[in-house]
């Protein structure tokens, strides 16, 4: 059978399984098993066993549960409260005032978490009540938090970058470095939009509520020191070459335990809750990755990726047109799948086409993260929408509508990194050239 027809059959099988409520990981395994049994002569059971074992014992994956555990510990600590205390005096003088705490706070927490939902929830638990109490425009509060929460995927350490690095065989350390400038760029875009909105709607922005001299502001900034020290130890150890991502993740766990103990929030209950939370999340991701690994092998045996790459090449799409098509594809997928599932589900089929188009896989990894960020704020599956729905008590459509301007800012960010790829590639090329 023609490989393209095989791909349609397998996609139909996947759609049926997902519609029936089958777990993503089992659906991926089932899709691969159907492809192997019906369209090849290879031993499906033996290949499934060896592939699942090989993918689950990858050394690169050891950083994943450690970074997740670090985020779980910090989620239960007092670090977000301290960050708001340290940031608020500095943000209150800007147009938009304390709404910038959503963006900067999420950016800081993203650098020590790696999870979009955890970032939005942790910062939102502090900022939403405080901004409501001061009568800030709720639509902008919700939208800025939904958008800024996605920074948990882009600013390293990022769980999705680890998943992509394993799937595409790209250096995780290089991906972490590549995410820094795009992350800062997106923070500036979000804060710029908040400032412009505030200048256009001065009547909807409360007056200044915090007036401090420079000495007082500097004293309040001491609350940011723990978070900055943890970021410096985790990210700095990777950038300097002192530690691998896995070693820096272990360092982050130790640091987060120390911070939690120092803040008085570390006890047996919070410790066990963090371990169980990290275990559940890590097992879910690992199960999805093993299913995706078998699907990748099965796709290789059926010849679908090669045929699809040849088909796309035959269409004569320029690299820019290919990226535009893939952006639309991921936006649609984001309405139905979570980010990790999107990456592992599409990697086997899309990466050969991306290679054939001559697109740098490091750059493509950051592109993937940006479009997955969009998926975090697209209904009905956007995780950040669920988080903010629970935090604010507003319905899903209100949260999605409030998030829409920040969704379009992420679309603009994709266009910017395409026009100026150096935003992604400059730091990795400089830092790894020096070693």
Tens-place pLDDT, residues 249-285: 888 889 889 988 888 888 899 899 989 988 887 887 7
Residue numbers of the chain with a pLDDT score lower than 50? none
195 close to 94: Cβ distance less than 8 angstroms: yes
* DSSP per-residue letters across 38-51: HH--S-HHHHHHHH
- pLDDT on residue 413: 95
- Cα→Cα distances 138→191, 222, 246, 290, 395, Å: 16, 29, 40, 42, 13
388 close to 406: Cβ distance less than 8 angstroms: no
- Say which residue the tokens 């409030």 belong to: 402
- pLDDT on residue 199: 92
Would you tell me how many other CB atoms lie within 10 Å of the CB of residue 171? 17
The fraction of the chain above a pLDDT of 70, given in percent, is 92
Three-state helix/strand/coil letters over 202-218: HHHCCCCCCCCCHHHHH
- pLDDT on residue 247: 86
* The overall pTM is greater than 0.85: no
Exposure string (b/e) for 352-378, b if CB count within 10 Å is 16 or more? bbbeebebbbbbbbbbbbbbbbbbbbb
Specify the DSSP class assigned to residue 94. Answer: S
- pLDDT on residue 66: 84
- pLDDT on residue 367: 94
- pLDDT on residue 405: 93
Nearest to 105 by CA among 412, 93, 90: 90
Cα separation, 321 vs 331, whole angstroms:
15
Nearest to 79 by CA among 47, 52, 106, 54: 106
Peptide bond before 380: cis, by omega within 30 degrees of 0? Answer: yes
- pLDDT on residue 380: 61
| Coil/strand/helix, residue 26 | helix
- pLDDT on residue 2: 67
Would you tell me how many other CB atoms lie within 10 Å of the CB of residue 185? 17
- pLDDT on residue 81: 75
- pLDDT on residue 411: 93
Query: For residue 311, what are its two tokens?
Result: 């088909």
Q: pLDDT tens across 67-104, in order?
A: 888 878 877 877 777 777 888 888 887 888 888 988 99
End-to-end CA distance of the chain: 50
Cα separation, 212 vs 193, whole angstroms:
26
- pLDDT on residue 60: 63
């Amino acid at each position: 059978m023609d490989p393209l027809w095989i791909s349609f059959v397998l996609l139909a099988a996947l759609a049926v399984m997902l519609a029936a409520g089958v777990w993503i990981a089992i659906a991926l395994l089932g899709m691969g098993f159907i492809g192997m049994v019906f369209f090849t002569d290879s031993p499906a059971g033996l290949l499934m066993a060896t592939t699942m074992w090989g993918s689950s014992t990858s050394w690169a994956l050891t950083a994943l549960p450690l970074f997740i555990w670090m985020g779980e510990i910090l989620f239960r600590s007092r670090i977000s409260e301290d960050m708001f205390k340290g940031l608020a005096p500095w943000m209150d003088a800007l147009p938009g005032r304390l709404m910038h705490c959503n963006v900067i706070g999420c950016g800081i927490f993203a650098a020590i978490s790696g999870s979009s939902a955890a970032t939005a929830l942790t910062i939102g638990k502090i900022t939403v009540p405080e901004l409501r109490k001061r009568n800030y425009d709720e639509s902008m509060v919700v939208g800025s938090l939904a958008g800024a929460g996605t920074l948990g995927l882009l600013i390293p350490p990022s769980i999705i970058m680890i998943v992509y690095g394993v799937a595409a065989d790209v250096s995780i350390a290089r991906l972490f470095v590549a995410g820094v400038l795009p992350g800062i760029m997106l923070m500036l875009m979000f804060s710029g939009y908040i400032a412009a909105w505030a200048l256009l709607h001065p009547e909807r922005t409360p007056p200044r509520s915090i007036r401090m001299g420079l000495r007082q502001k500097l004293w309040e900034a001491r609350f940011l020191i723990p978070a900055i020290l943890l970021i410096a130890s985790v990210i700095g150890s990777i950038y300097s070459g002192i530690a691998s991502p896995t070693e820096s993740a272990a360092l982050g766990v130790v640091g987060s335990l120390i911070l939690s103990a120092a803040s008085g929030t570390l006890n047996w209950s919070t410790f066990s809750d963090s371990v169980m939370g990290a275990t559940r999340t890590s097992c879910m991701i690992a199960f999805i990755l093993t299913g995706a690994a078998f699907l990748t092998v099965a796709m290789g045996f059926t010849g679908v990726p090669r045929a699809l790459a040849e088909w796309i090449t035959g269409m004569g799409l320029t690299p820019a047109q290919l990226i535009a098509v893939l952006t639309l594809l991921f936006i649609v997928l984001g309405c139905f799948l979570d980010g990790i599932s999107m990456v592992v589900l599409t990697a086997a089929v899309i990466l050969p086409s991306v290679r054939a188009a001559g697109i740098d896989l490091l750059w493509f990894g950051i592109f993937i993260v940006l479009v997955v960020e969009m998926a975090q704020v697209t209904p009905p599956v956007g995780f950040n929408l669920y988080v903010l729905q629970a935090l604010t008590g507003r319905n899903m459509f209100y949260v999605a509508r409030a998030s829409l301007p920040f969704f379009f800012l992420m679309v603009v960010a994709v266009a910017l990194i395409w026009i100026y790829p150096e935003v992604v590639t400059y730091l990795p090329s400089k830092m790894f050239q020096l070693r």
